[in-house]
């Protein structure tokens, strides 16, 4: 759902900002088989051919040296130069921001683990900088964790589409307009967004596709001196990783795709299934309150709890709530505020506190959660360009959209799978109606023929990337290996399941391929 929740990204570090404890480092348990020996899976040992370019025109990019320097809290930063347009290699170049957290046990170092946390649009440098929260100690010991801000995001020539005030309006606006005035406002915002990307970003707006970012990753692999790419991608990062494996199957090494996106489906099916995913997560949250909380504030049954949340959203839509700041909680903010804690079961208690406060007439905590989701600070600025990059990358990959007049016909199907969120996801199908540029790099189905085993992880009650997507992606990839995590929240690794952790760490470190269909 591109208007609101196509931002399928890892949010544990955002949630930590509301005062929650850091994720625990997890020990290992059984969950893999060793039918494939480590020698059968490519290692990351550099070879002389690592910097060999696919074409002569790319040689200057593939042979560049990275100039690492100290940055942030003792990490290392560098810039990687890539062509803006891979069809015109002598033209403009752009620089990508890199951040490396060196392996903590240098004597046992294997190589570089390139990571991407999703979005599309989340800064990968932030993900790497928070590696101690996102990855287990075995990976921190053995790999340099390398994050990069994909083209058009973070500090990598970020795409710009709207002013901060316009972004505030975009986030707060009703994501499912139900009056003529709201529909006119909604359509105007989308037109402004589409025009703004071209006016404020120029040629860059046409060159932030996933395919181009995947080509950048191969330049990064070469600059790191790796003969094959070792990669961990979460959420949208799975789309990026799968695209890389399809473009460069013989350069793919050990790839883990966690919280998988199904690249074979179009925007309508993606939105429909994601709507169902968020409904499933919300139902799990409400049921947990009913079953395990004495006097659950949502009521004594699942249906009663869901009805109370829907009623709250209806009231906010009609009359925004006051907050402790000079801003009101509008319906768009309320939707983001509810969505964010559903990404991680550990933060359901934050959602409960926010809902109880809102039901008492104060929208402060839901507004704070909305701001965290969208990287907005208290001064009215945005810490990164996630919202704009998400829009630009998504619409460049696939500009398919329906007109607002077509939405009513879609509502019954969406409301059937998600009575709470369905209308929002149905309206999300109009998002790219205002997009104004096209890319020669098209979105594509993937098979990665010739690639080594690619581990794909799905979680049964994942709100943002339904389990079905992981099953489908693992089947589409010629060498896909599926891991099922039975649990709540978004993504499966380092989420409290030792079976998943052992499988992932055994694969990345030793090359031990998990049993296909492993259930954790």
Q: Which 3-state string (H, E, C) describes 245-288?
A: HHHCCCCEEEEEEECCCCCCCCHHHHHHHHHHHHHHHHHHHHHH
Rounded distance, CA 383 to CA 36, Å?
A: 44
pLDDT at 335: 95
Span 65-83, pLDDT tens digits = 999 999 988 899 999 999 9
462 in catalytic set: yes
Supply the CATH classification number for the domain 8-12+44-149+219-265+441-519. 3.40.50.1820
Span 199-250, pLDDT tens digits = 999 999 999 999 999 999 999 999 999 999 999 999 999 999 999 999 999 9
Residue of 454, 430, 386 lying closest to 244 (CA atoms): 454
Q: What is the largest CA-CA distance in the chain?
A: 69
pLDDT at 46: 58
pLDDT at 45: 53
pLDDT at 40: 39
Q: Which residues pair with 100 in a beta bridge?
A: 76, 146
Question: Domain boundaries in the chain?
Answer: 8-12+44-149+219-265+441-519, 164-204+270-434
pLDDT at 442: 59
Rounded distance, CA 478 to CA 118, Å?
A: 23
Q: From the candidates 235, 352, 394, 439, which is the catalytic residue?
A: 235
Query: Which regions in the chain score pLDDT beneath 50?
Result: 1-44
Using CB atoms within 10 A of its CB, is residue 502 exposed (0-12), middle (13-18) or buried (19+)? Answer: buried
Find out whether 271 and 398 touch, Cβ atoms under 8 Å.
no
pLDDT at 2: 42
Q: Residues in the chain, how many?
A: 520
The structure's pTM equals 0.89
DSSP 3-state helix, strand, coil percentages of the chain (rounded to 5)?
45, 15, 40
Computed from CA positions of residues 56, 57, 62, 66, in that sequence, does the dihedral angle turn out positive or negative? positive
292 in catalytic set: no
How far apart, in Å, are the Cα atoms of 66 and each of 72, 124, 159? 18, 17, 24
- Tokens for 488? 């709540």
SS3 438: coil
Q: From the candidates 227, 490, 494, 501, which is the catalytic residue?
A: 490
Q: From the candidates 462, 472, 488, 501, which is the catalytic residue?
A: 462
486 in catalytic set: no
Q: How far is CA 147 from the centre of its chain?
A: 14
Residue 171: cis peptide before it, omega within 30 degrees of 0 = no
Q: What are phi and psi of 27, to 5 degrees?
A: -85, 175
Rounded distance, CA 402 to CA 246, Å?
A: 29
Rounded distance, CA 207 to CA 88, Å?
A: 12
Find out whether 443 and 469 touch, Cβ atoms under 8 Å.
no
């Amino acid at each position: 759902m591109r208007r609101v929740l196509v931002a399928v990204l890892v949010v544990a570090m955002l949630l930590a900002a509301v005062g929650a404890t850091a994720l625990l480092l997890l020990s290992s348990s059984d969950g893999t088989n060793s039918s494939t020996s480590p020698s059968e899976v490519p290692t990351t040992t550099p070879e002389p051919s690592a910097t060999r370019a696919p074409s002569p025109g790319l040689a200057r990019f593939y042979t560049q040296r990275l100039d690492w320097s100290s940055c942030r809290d003792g990490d290392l930063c560098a810039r990687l130069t890539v062509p803006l347009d891979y069809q015109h290699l002598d033209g403009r170049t752009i620089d990508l921001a890199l951040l490396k957290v060196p392996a903590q046990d240098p004597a046992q170092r294997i190589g570089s683990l390139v990571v991407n946390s999703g979005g599309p649009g989340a800064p990968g440098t932030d993900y790497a900088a928070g590696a101690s929260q996102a990855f287990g100690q075995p990976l921190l010991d053995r790999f340099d964790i390398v994050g990069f801000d994909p083209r058009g995001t973070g500090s990598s020539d970020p795409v710009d589409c709207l002013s901060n005030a316009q972004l505030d309006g975009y986030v707060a606006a009703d994501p499912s307009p139900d009056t003529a005035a709201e529909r006119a406002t909604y359509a105007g915002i989308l037109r402004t967004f589409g025009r703004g990307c071209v006016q404020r970003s120029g040629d860059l707006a046409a060159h932030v596709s996933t395919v181009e970012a995947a080509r950048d990753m191969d330049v990064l692999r070469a600059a790191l001196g790796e003969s094959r790419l070792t990669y961990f991608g979460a959420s949208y990062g799975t789309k990026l990783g799968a695209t890389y494996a399809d473009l460069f199957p013989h350069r793919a090494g050990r790839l883990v795709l966690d919280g998988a996106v199904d690249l074979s489906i179009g925007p309508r099916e993606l939105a429909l299934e994601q709507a169902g995913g968020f409904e499933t997560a919300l139902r799990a949250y409400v049921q947990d309150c009913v079953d395990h909380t004495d006097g659950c504030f949502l009521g004594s049954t699942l249906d009663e709890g869901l009805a109370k949340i829907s009623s709250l959203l209806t009231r906010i839509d009609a009359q925004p709530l006051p907050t402790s700041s000079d801003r009101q909680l509008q319906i768009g903010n309320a939707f983001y505020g509810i969505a964010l804690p559903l990404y991680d079961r550990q933060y359901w208690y934050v959602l409960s506190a926010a809902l109880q406060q809102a039901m008492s007439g104060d929208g402060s905590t839901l507004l704070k959660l909305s701001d965290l989701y969208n990287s907005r600070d208290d001064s009215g600025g945005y810490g990164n360009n996630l919202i704009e990059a998400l829009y630009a990358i998504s619409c460049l990959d696939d500009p398919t959209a329906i007109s607002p007049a077509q939405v009513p016909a879609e509502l019954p199907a969406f409301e059937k799978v998600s009575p709470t969120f369905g209308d929002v996801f149905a309206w999300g199908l109009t998002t790219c109606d205002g997009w104004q540029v096209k890319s020669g790099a098209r979105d594509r189905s993937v098979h990665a023929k010739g690639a080594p085993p690619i581990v794909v992880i799905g979680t049964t009650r994942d709100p943002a990337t339904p389990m079905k997507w992981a099953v489908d992606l693992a089947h589409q990839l010629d060498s896909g290996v599926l891991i099922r995590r039975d649990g709540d929240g978004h993504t499966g690794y380092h989420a409290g399941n030792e079976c998943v952790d052992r499988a992932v760490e055994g694969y990345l470190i030793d090359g031990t391929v998990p049993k296909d269909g492993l259930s954790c």
